[in-house]
Structures are given as C-alpha cells and as structure tokens.
C-alpha cells in the first residue's frame, strides 16, 4: 500500500504517487527488459539500512523502490532510485530463476475471468445444467504448489443470475478450469457431472434484501464526542505498515521506541479437502492477491466510529500507474468504558479510564473480509487484549530466598531453533529483554507476549505441498536476526511456490539470536468448523496477542496520568 507525497518523507514512508510514476518511467525506458509487454506485480519501498534510519539523517538517505515485473515469461527484479523523481535510475536488475511466481494482478484476473465464456466444453457443460454464459461468473484461484514449468491458475465458477450478492454460496460443483496466465489460455478442464446448485433463497445479506421488517436485535445509535478535541495528531504518510512506534516515559522525560516495524506478512487459508476441486484451496492471501490491493473504502459510523480520521492511499496497477484508494485506513481514540487501573483502600478510590489509539484497515479477498487493527495503549502495550488489573505482591523468583507462590526458571534462547515456540500447552512466559539496559532496581528492560486465544497450529502433514508453502504455521512464535530482505514468511514468489524460501527456510540456518537485533514473528491460528450461525454471513471472530511492557518502565506509567474528568452534556429530547 502506498501513500501520497509529503515535502520531506520519512525514510520508511511508502512510495508516493509521484515516486510510483517515476518507477514506471524508469522501468519502461530501461533496455534491461527487452520483452514486451511489461506487467508490474509489485512496487514497494526498498528500505534503507536500519542503522541509517535510526540515525535520523533523513535528508541524506536515498529513496529507492523494489520492483517485480513479468515480461517474456520471466520474473524480473529491479531496484530503482527515485530520489530525484525527474531523473529516476535503474540501479540493478536480475531475473528470478527459483520456484514460484509473483502475485496476481487485477488486470490478469479480469482477463482470465472471461476465458471460460468462450471455451466450448465449458459452454456445453452450462447448457447441460440449464445455464448460459451470462448466468455465471468465474474467479481466479491459486494453483497450489508443486508446478514449476508454467504459470498456471485454477478457476471455478458461480451462478450469479439470481438477485443475491452472496454468489460464493452458489458454486458450480464438479467443474474446474486450468489457465496458463502467461499465454492467457485455458489448458485444462474438468467436469465430473451435474450437481445441484444451492438455492439463492435466504443467501443475501444486504439490508434492502433482508428487510424491512427487521426482526433482529435493536441497536441504538451512539455518538463519540470529544469536547476538547482529539488527542491524535496525524502527520505524515499512510501505510499498511506500523513504523517506529514509541511511548512517552514521563519519569525519563523522553519518548522511548517500542518497536521498529510491524505488518501482516501472510494469511494462510487451507480448506483441507482432498477433493480434486478443493485440494488446491490453500490460499496465501497476501502473497497471491496482495492485502494492500484488496482494501476497500471504510464505512463511517460502522467500520470506524464518528471520531475517526480517514486516510487515502496509493498502489500501482499492472501497468505501473498509481491508483488512489480512498478512505482505506482510519485512526481513532477508543473510549469503551474500560479501566486502565484502579484501586480502593480505606474508602478511597483511584481509577483512570483506558483510552486506546486504534489504526484500522479492512481487506476483502474473495469471500473473506479481514479487519486488521493495530491498537496502542497509554500503558505502552501494542495490540490490545481484554485488560487484567491487580496489585503486585512480592512474589518469589529464582533469586529470591522465599519462594512463596512459584519458582521461576530462566531459559535464554541462543539460536533460532531455541526461539521457535508452540504456545499451546505451555505455562511459560515469553519475554524479550535488552540485556544492556537495566531499570534502577536492576531488571533488564523488556516486553512480554500475552496470547489472547487463536493459538491453533496447522493440521497438515509437513510433506504436504500446502504445508511446505506455509510452514510458518507449525509454530506460533519464531525469532530471527534482523535482515531487511526477510519480509514474507511464505516467500516473495508465493504463487506455486515449493517452500524453499520463507521463514522456516531462513530459520533452518539456526543463526544466533542472543544479544542480536531480532525480529519476532507471531502466528495467530483459528480452526473454523462452519455452523448454522455462519449463514449467510459469518459473524466476526477475532484473535489477538499483546506485547506488554515487562520492566520497561520504572513503575506504572499511568500513575502520573491526570484524570480527564467527566464531560457532561445536557439531556436532549425530540418530540415528533
């Protein structure tokens, strides 16, 4: 996901519309790619070195883009300098010779979707079912793994002739097409016979189709009001990546960085059905379709509350041209009536309200909608979970003479293999500490992981192609030494990959992580067994984890927080 231009971009700001245009100009003018046409599958920021970014020497750092393009049945990788957008330069060029292919473009999905309508065998199959080509729509699905000779995709079709938006519920079972995307031609077709098509009755979820009358629970409208203005100031560019998050430490009198970069690396959706038309339903939504390209405008008052600010963004289409995406990210302060901390003693009560900064985007890939939240709390935690409050008695530890509650055994991960953890069934706390920084009491400063459900792991066999492509799903926690080139846990070339590039492959080197600059990879997992309440649209389910301060501060950072007071508004009535 890209952003609009700013006068002085931060080194981690995504590429602006002007920079995207400059990238396109440089690539199309370069003699390094002789084949035509050129299709752009990825254009993203080529990040500067982390040390340079943290040095704050912003004005001296170059702006560069990393590009993956297809031409002549080959995947090309280019690095383009766009520091001077009037004179962009291609700095390097290479051809990808490994397994896998880049993500689909919207243009080639659209081109492939009409191929079945002109394929005689498919048209004949429709006639056998009493259908015409105008009654169906076809979608591009990932081809799965194992093939390395051609860029193939599989297509399935749905009945769209009746008035329902929920056409994914009306699939043409038993039919499948195989398409060569480079040739843009159908190269395989299966029709196992005629199966019943589910009725359209009751499948629509749109309000004007469901009612009136509306017989469900009544939800009264609510309005969030901040009479003294918002506590959030938005300055800079929009991105689907959270960069350089920090928290103000009142005792230290300065802001302290909490983490460097955070983003969703991959989403694995295996249907786990061995049937011919279902086995390949093992989607890697980020690597095959692109999450940023799959965002849609957020709906004020429903996707985000009334006090939200909205941000537009940009991404490059298959021709390399920047496309604007309106209102795809919102940011707001959440006042949910939660308590940040409280205590009552001797008839005296102290309590502070909890306020959370939420950054939200919604991604729709096929029949799945993902609401992705980054939540930042004033206590210093990231990714909010239901809050727990307690007073802290003096508990026994490994170095404490009186071990009154439990015994703590400290185990330090030395290498990547040591840092691979399955959270299920373990009572261990996972801490990340800086051994070179200590509190005044003598504790290493750090953060700890607090899981909040959704800790399921993959049930697929390790040698199964879908599992090889998404091998990161076997562990909830991975830790690697920082390497800016290691971003995508299922590899850069996800489509039809074989699993030889990705998190598990990187970690097989078993590099040292103790006393190193490290990266935490956390996997959320849900096993979905459909139930009647999921029809026609599944209610939202969520999973989360929290990165919570652990001896990061000298004390509770909210002790010095001033109570905001109560905002009273006059009661209003309306008589009609």
Q: Please report the pLDDT score of residue 569 as a whole number.
A: 61
d(CA 295, CA 290): 9
User: Residue 404 above 50 pLDDT?
Assistant: no
Per-residue pLDDT reduced to its tens digit, 515-558:
999 999 999 888 888 899 998 988 888 888 889 999 999 999 98
Query: What does 474-502 look like in DSSP terms, one character per residue?
Result: G-SEEEEE--TT---TT-SS-BT--SSSS
pLDDT at 181: 95
More confident residue, 454 or 269: 269
Which of residues 394 and 290 earns the better pLDDT score? 290
pLDDT band at 397 (very low <50, low <70, confident <90, very high): very low
Q: Cβ–Cβ contacts within 10 Å for residue 448, how many?
A: 17
Examine the residue annotation and report whether 368 is marked as an active-site residue of this protein.
yes
pLDDT value at position 388? 28
Q: Do domains 17-96 and 242-550 have the same CATH topology?
A: no
- If one compares 539 and 242, the residue with the highest pLDDT of the two is 539
pLDDT tens digits along 144-158: 776 668 899 999 999
Choosing among 3.10.450.40, 3.40.50.2020, 3.10.110.10, 1.10.630.10, the CATH entry for 17-96 is 3.10.450.40
Give the model's pLDDT for residue 216: 84
pLDDT of residue 427: 67
What pLDDT score does 571 carry? 59
pLDDT at residue 58 in the model: 60
- Cβ-contact 482, 519 below 8 angstroms: yes
Nearest to 432, CA basis, from 247, 259, 243: 259
Check whether 289 has a pLDDT greater than 90.
Answer: yes
**125-137 pLDDT per residue, tens:** 999 999 999 999 9
Catalytic hit among 119, 189, 335, 368: 368
Q: Categorize the per-residue pLDDT at 10 as very low, low, confident or very high, splitting at 50, 70 and 90.
A: confident
Residue with the bigger pLDDT between 465 and 117: it is 117
Closest Cα to residue 37, out of 74, 88, 87, 83?
Answer: 74
pLDDT category, 263, cuts 50, 70, 90? confident
Q: For residue 336, name the pLDDT band (cuts at 50, 70, 90).
A: confident
**For residue 423, pLDDT beyond 90:** no
Top mean-pLDDT range of 63-67, 216-220, 243-247, 541-545: 63-67
> DSSP characters for 274-327?
-STTTTT-EEEHHHHT-SGGGB----BTTTB-TT-EEEEEEEE-TTS-EEEEEE
Q: Which of 231-245, 423-437, 490-504 is the most confident on average?
A: 490-504
- Would you state the pLDDT for residue 409? 62
Helices (H), 1-49: 17-29
Angle (CA) 537-538-541 rounded to 5° is: 150
| Domain positions in the chain | 17-96, 106-208, 242-550
Once rounded to an integer, what is the mean pLDDT over residues 50-74? Answer: 88
Average pLDDT over residues 106-114: 96
Alpha helices by DSSP H, listed for 379-520, are 465-469, 503-507
Q: Which of 285, 315, 354, 465 is catalytic?
A: 285
- Tell whether the model's pLDDT for residue 244 goes beyond 60: yes
Is 70 exceeded by the pLDDT of residue 392? no
Domain 242-550 CATH assignment equals 2.70.98.20: yes
Provide the pLDDT confidence category of residue 229 given band limits of 50, 70 and 90.
confident
Residues 6+ apart with CB under 8 A from 194: 128, 129, 174
**Predicted confidence band of residue 323 (pLDDT cuts 50, 70, 90):** very high
Per-residue pLDDT reduced to its tens digit, 73-98 = 999 999 999 999 999 999 999 999 99
Q: Which of 25-29, 463-467, 561-565 has the highest mean pLDDT?
A: 25-29
Q: What is the pLDDT of residue 241?
A: 58
pLDDT recorded at residue 246: 81
Res 454: pLDDT:
79
Q: Which fold has domain 106-208?
A: Nuclear Transport Factor 2; Chain: A, (3.10.450)
- pLDDT mean across residues, the chain: 86
Q: Which two tokens stand for residue 556?
A: 């509770």
pLDDT of residue 391: 33
pLDDT at 570: 57
Say yes or no to pLDDT of 215 above 50. yes
Assess contact for 454 and 543: CB atoms under 8 A.
yes
């Amino acid at each position: 996901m890209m952003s609009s231009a700013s006068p002085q971009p931060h080194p981690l700001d995504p590429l602006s519309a002007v920079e995207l245009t400059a990238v396109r100009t440089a690539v199309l003018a370069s003699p390094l790619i002789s084949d035509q046409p050129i299709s752009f599958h990825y254009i993203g920021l080529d990040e500067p070195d982390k040390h340079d970014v943290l040095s704050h020497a912003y004005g001296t750092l170059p702006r560069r883009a990393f590009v993956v393009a297809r031409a002549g049945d080959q995947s090309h990788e280019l690095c383009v300098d766009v520091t001077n957008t009037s004179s962009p330069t291609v700095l390097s060029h290479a051809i990808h010779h490994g397994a896998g292919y880049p993500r689909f473009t919207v243009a080639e999905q659209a081109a492939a979707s009409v191929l079945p309508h002109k394929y005689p065998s498919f048209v004949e199959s429709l006639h056998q079912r009493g259908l015409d080509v105008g009654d169906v729509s076809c979608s591009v699905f990932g081809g799965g793994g194992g093939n390395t000779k051609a860029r193939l995709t599989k297509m399935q079709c749905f009945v769209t002739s009746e008035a329902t938006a929920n056409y994914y519920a009306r699939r043409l079972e038993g039919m499948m097409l195989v398409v060569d995307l480079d040739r843009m031609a159908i190269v395989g077709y299966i029709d196992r016979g005629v199966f019943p098509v589910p009725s359209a009755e009751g499948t629509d979820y749109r309000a004007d189709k469901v009612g009136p009358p509306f017989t469900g629970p009544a939800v009264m409208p609510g309005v969030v009001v901040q009479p003294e203005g918002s506590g959030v100031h938005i300055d800079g560019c929009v991105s689907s990546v959270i960069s350089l998050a920090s928290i103000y430490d009142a005792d230290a009198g300065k802001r302290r960085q909490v983490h460097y970069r955070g983003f969703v690396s991959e989403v694995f959706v295996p249907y786990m059905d061995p049937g011919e038309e279902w086995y390949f339903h093992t989607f890697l939504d980020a690597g095959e379709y692109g999450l940023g390209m799959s965002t849609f405008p957020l709906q004020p008052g429903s996707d985000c509350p009334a006090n939200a600010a909205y941000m537009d963004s940009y991404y490059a289409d298959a021709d390399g041209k920047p496309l604007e995406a309106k209102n795809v990210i919102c940011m707001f302060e959440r006042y949910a009536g939660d308590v940040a901390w409280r205590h009552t003693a001797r008839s005296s009560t102290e309590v502070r309200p909890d306020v959370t900064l939420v950054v939200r985007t919604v991604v729709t890939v096929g029949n799945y909608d993902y609401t992705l939240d980054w939540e930042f709390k004033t206590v210093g935690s990231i990714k909010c979970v239901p809050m727990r409050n307690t007073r802290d008695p003096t508990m026994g530890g490994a170095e404490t003479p009186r071990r009154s509650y439990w015994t703590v055994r400290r185990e330090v991960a030395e290498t990547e293999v040591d840092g691979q953890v399955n959270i299920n069934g373990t009572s261990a706390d996972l801490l990340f500490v800086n051994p070179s920084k200590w509190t005044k009491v003598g504790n290493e400063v750090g953060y700890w992981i607090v899981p909040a459900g959704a800790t399921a792991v993959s049930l697929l066999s390790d040698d199964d192609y879908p599992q090889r492509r998404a091998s990161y799903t076997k562990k909830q926690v991975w830790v690697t030494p920082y390497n800016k080139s290691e971003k995508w846990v299922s590899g850069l070339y996800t489509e039809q990959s074989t699993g030889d590039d990705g998190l598990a492959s990187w970690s097989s080197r078993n590099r040292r992580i103790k006393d190193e600059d490290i990266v935490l990879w956390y996997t959320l997992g849900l096993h979905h067994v459909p139930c009647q309440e999921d029809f026609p649209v599944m209610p939202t389910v969520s999973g989360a984890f929290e990165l919570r301060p652990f001896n990061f501060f000298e004390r509770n950072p909210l002790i010095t927080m001033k109570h905001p007071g109560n905002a009273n508004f006059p009661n209003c009535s309306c008589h009609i």
